[in-house]
Amino acid sequence: MAEEKSFKYVIVGAGVSAGYAAREFAIPDLKHGELAIISNEPVPPYERPELTKGYIEFKTNTNLAKDYVCGETGEQRQCPQWYKDKGIEMILSTEIVKADLAAKSLVSSHGKIFKYQNLIVATGSTCSRFSEFGVQDANAKNIFYLRDTKDLDQLALTMETKKKRTVVVIGGGYIGFEISASLRVNNYDVTMIFPEPWIMHQIFTAEIASFYQGYYEDKGIKIIKSTRATGFNTNSNGEVTEVKLDDGRTLEADIVIVDIGGTPMTSIFRGQVEEDKGGIKTDGFFKTSISDVYAIGDVATFPMKRYGDMRRVEHVDHARKSAEHAVKAIKAAEEGKLIQEYDYFPFLYSRAFDLSWQFYGDNVGQSVLFGDNDPKSPKPKFGTYWVKDGKVVGAFLEGGVMEENKAIARVARTQPSVGSLEVLSNVGELLIGSRFNRNRVLVPCRI
């Protein structure tokens, strides 16, 4: 007979969302044995964005201890002992292959059965791979997809044994953007290639991207835009030696890192819960169409109240906040109480080299650039406002200090009216310290 365990709460997945959900369950206390986290990874939840930043500083003795959640938000780092102390059962290196939501049970690849009263789906996204598209030699030894610590550890080991230091990064999204900078800091020759007309195409405007392209190129990173990788040439050892491009060129490569998007990991729940926009559809409390089943982080498609539509957000900030809100909703329901629906205010950020940018709100409508976006400036500082229907709906700032980042967040959140885009461009920097009149029209002033 198959081994069976029962829990009041089960979280499937051990990414950022799972860690922050566990912390919320533990406030103020949690009975031992009530909560289990099941993951196919061998380690407890960690701050996954660090994989492309601090974790890949190969010159240091990198370890995971400094990257456990929830240290990035100033809370206690949840090392393995933390979960033991809280009575949370960590079921690691365990893949769930079947879910029966009607029976409230999960089955692992080893045949073990896990029963639950409340389930939180926190499975995140998986990397798209060239092998899925029938690309020849897509599984060569020195092609890496940076999904977890195992991927990074294998990459580090390969780099230690490689005499040459030539890396091709395929993709211009978050992973490509950050890993290219980290590799260059570690003195690797880096070439980025992506099919879009500019880097970070989903977030940046062409004007914003031109700064980062210039900055990266000044650091020695080669960038090839509007071009696709179509295949690989390999040697007798099964390693990539060249990357083939759709314009007929080839790029020498000792190591290839791929960032060509991802897909929410929802397959085992398909047909049992309602889906929308590639994710599991939830309400404003992250409850799915099945009672006592919640979805958080990358896999959740939820109501974005301030913009009046359903969205799925892939970013660590939403991963943290959605986890906390879902657990609060579960606790409130148990106590017969009500909480407010999730009212997410989009917040994205990244660090690369000595740069740091933040974005708030929505990047729709007309964009207005301000400040110094010369990549050769000793201390560049610039930003962009997005204006829709006469109001500022989004704001971006590179090089801002804490007070300035808070200021652009305030502008995007309050959505003040704007009379002239030309005036907004001319006074954009002053608006970081702006005040608002009673009609919520921007009135620039120095503070």
Tell me the per-residue pLDDT of 151-177, one tens digit each, with 9 for 90 and over: 878 887 887 777 778 999 999 999 899
Q: How far, in Å, CA of 362 to CA of 203, rounded?
A: 9
422 φ/ψ sector (left φ>0, alpha ψ -120 to 50, else beta): alpha
Residues 221-233 pLDDT 10s: 999 999 999 999 9
Q: Mean pLDDT across the chain, nearest whole number?
A: 89
What is d(CA 78, CA 389) in angstroms, rounded to the nearest whole number? 45
Q: CB-based contacts of 44: which residues, under 8 Å, 6+ apart?
A: 14, 19, 37, 68, 78, 79, 80, 83, 90, 92
Per-residue pLDDT at 47: 83
CA-angle at 234, arms to 228 and 236, nearest 5°: 175
pLDDT at 429: 60
For range 87-109, the mean pLDDT: 97
CATH top-level class for 130-260? Answer: alpha beta
The mean per-residue pLDDT over the stretch 92-114 comes to 97
Q: How much is the average pLDDT of 14-20? A: 94
What's the pLDDT score for residue 63?
61
The pLDDT tens digits for 384-405 are 999 999 999 999 999 999 999 9
Q: What is the pLDDT of residue 55?
A: 61
447/348: higher pLDDT: 348
Residue 311: CB atoms within 10 A of its CB come to 17
Domains of the chain, by residue range, sit at 4-126+263-334, 130-260, 354-443
Q: What letter does residue 91 receive in the DSSP assignment?
A: E
User: pLDDT tens, 236-282?
Assistant: 999 999 999 999 999 999 999 999 988 999 999 999 999 999 999 99
Q: Is the pLDDT of residue 445 over 50?
A: no
Q: Are 36 and 11 in contact (CB under 8 A)?
A: yes
Tens digit of each residue's pLDDT (9 = 90 or more) over 317-356: 999 999 999 999 999 999 999 999 999 999 999 999 999 9
Token pair of 19, please?
Answer: 């860690």
Mean pLDDT of 281-304: 97
DSSP letter string over 259-283? ---EEES-GGGBTTB-EETTEEE--
Closest CA to 91 of 2, 151, 14: 14
pLDDT of residue 29: 82
Residue 54: the pLDDT is 62
Can you give the pLDDT at residue 173?
93
Confidence of residue 428 (pLDDT cuts 50, 70, 90): low
Task: State the average pLDDT over residues 310-316.
Answer: 95
Per-residue pLDDT, 71: 78
Percentage of residues in the chain with pLDDT exceeding 70? 91
Per CATH, is 4-126+263-334 categorized as 3.40.50.620?
no
CA 135/CA 229 separation, integer angstroms: 10
> What pLDDT sits at residue 421?
82
Give the pLDDT confidence of 56-83 residue by residue, as tens digits. 655 544 566 667 888 777 788 999 999 9
pLDDT of 124 strictly over 60: yes
Instruction: Identify the CATH class of 354-443.
Output: alpha beta
Is 437's pLDDT higher than 50? no
Confidence at 134, pLDDT banded by 50, 70, 90 = confident
Decide whether 130-260 matches 354-443 in CATH topology: no
Candidates 215, 209, 211; CA nearest to 194 is 209
Question: Where in 305-426 does DSSP place strands (E)?
Answer: 309-312, 347-352, 355-361, 366-372, 381-388, 391-398
Quick: pLDDT tens for 27-41: 988 999 999 999 999
The mean pLDDT of 184-199, rounded to a whole number, is: 95
249 alpha-carbon distance from chain centroid: 32
Q: How far apart are CA 357 and CA 298, in angstroms?
A: 22
